[in-house]
Chain A
Amino acid sequence: DTGVSQDPRHKITKRGQNVTFRCDPISEHNRLYWYRQTLGQGPEFLTYFQNEAQLEKSRLLSDRFSAERPKGSFSTLEIQRTEQGDSAMYLCASSSVGEKLFFGSGTQLSVL
């Protein structure tokens, strides 16, 4: 069990730029989740995949956000035309059906 890996750990970008984050889940897990967390708040659900299928996407997610999970392995989360309000920790988690979520260490995004 090598754990869930996220890359990069930190990202600083200028407003209006595009950013992409990567998540490598635990290999045998078929579910992968993306969350956003701001300081002092709980993780806010963004989207999740079962294998390569994106099964649910939060209504809070604007169309500037897109996520993919080609071949049901790693996943990417892209934010286009970043805004200062996008500054947050982006967490990835994976699980098997009905099992606990294993979280990565997160990507801290700062939009200047």
Chain B
Amino acid sequence: AQTVTQSQPEMSVQEAETVTLSCTYDTSENNYYLFWYKQPPSRQMILVIRQEAYKQQNATENRFSVNFQKAAKSFSLKISDSQLGDTAMYFCAFYTNAGKSTFGDGTTLTVKP
């Protein structure tokens, strides 16, 4: 069974600053994908960034980047130049080729002006 742990229930950051959200996971699978999703108050889940486990290079998407440490089973999200619109709940998720998916319990991020 897979587990995903987000140890920071709430985080805050000043606008334009950088923040890192933590995620650890546990699995016996070797091939899998990791995602960060954002869920604003509208509750629509929006993909932020995706990482394939077989790729050593960390994924980046504009202001968003990950630090993927496969041996440590760690997958943190760094948001640079934080914007007010980044305020949302962020979920780390694990997904296998067989279709199994597990989400963490989320981190509520508040960007302060």
Contact = CB atoms under 8 A, between A and B. Distances in A.
A and B found bound together: yes
Interface residues of B, number: 24
B54 to A, nearest CB: 11
Interface in A46-64: 48, 50, 55-56
Interface stretch (A17-25, A65-73, A74-82, A95-103): A95-103
Contacts of A31: 99
Contacts of A103: 37, 44-46
A106 B43 contact: yes
Given A31-B99, A41-B106, 16 more contacts: A33-B99, A37-B43, A42-B93, A42-B103, A42-B106, A45-B100, A45-B103, A48-B99, A55-B98, A55-B99, A97-B99, A100-B47, A101-B101, A105-B44, A106-B43, A106-B44
